[in-house]
A and B are shown apart, each in its own frame.
Chain A
Amino acid sequence: EAQVTQNPRYLITVTGKKLTVTCSQNMNHEYMSWYRQDPGLGLRQIYYSMNVEVTDKGDVPEGYKVSRKEKRNFPLILESPSPNQTSLYFCASSLRSASGPIEQYFGPGTRLTVT
């Protein structure tokens, strides 16, 4: 089954404790991205990757890191989480057309709470 998986689905942590949210897709997509969803703000892109070893900032990259060492995996790293990073996080992947990514396939989400 074609899918995007994320782990963990739920995470409660404390301020400053480094964490990693994993994301993996089995569709051989070049493009992957991370979003956060906050009430009243819709989805905002954190980082994206056009291919292995190619990453770039989205609209809200502060406080986050990513890496793309393999095509299927795109982990999101919070080196020193803060309470304002409490949110619902989604990973997504997409085929890439000549003009960039097209429709995206989303993971189930990771609900992160930072106390």
Chain B
Amino acid sequence: DQQVKQNSPSLSVQEGRISILNCDYTNSMFDYFLWYKKYPAEGPTFLISISSIKDKNEDGRFTVFLNKSAKHLSLHIVPSQPGDSAVYFCAASEVNSGYELNFGKGTSLLVTP
């Protein structure tokens, strides 16, 4: 039972443009959401997070938006750079479960020059 879904397996964007990665979840008890970036042969690297009490969090070129009523979050990367090419995982957790992460299957982002 996949509680976190990333419906786009891959995304290709030109350098300098905006990348938008989407994520949907089904469990309304989730109260903390994270994005991780993963390069081949490395572990996931924490990128940005958002609490359920917020609807937006920004860190440099990365912004995460949360729509609780739609159970949807998105990651915006502006401007996209070739070094952003990686697999991006959306994850959700709840404090009552010790912040155990439920991951989507990932979206592979390719930023072309």
Q: Do A and B bind each other?
A: no
Query: Which residues of B does A touch, CB under 8 Å?
Result: none
Query: Which residues of A does B touch, CB under 8 Å?
Result: none
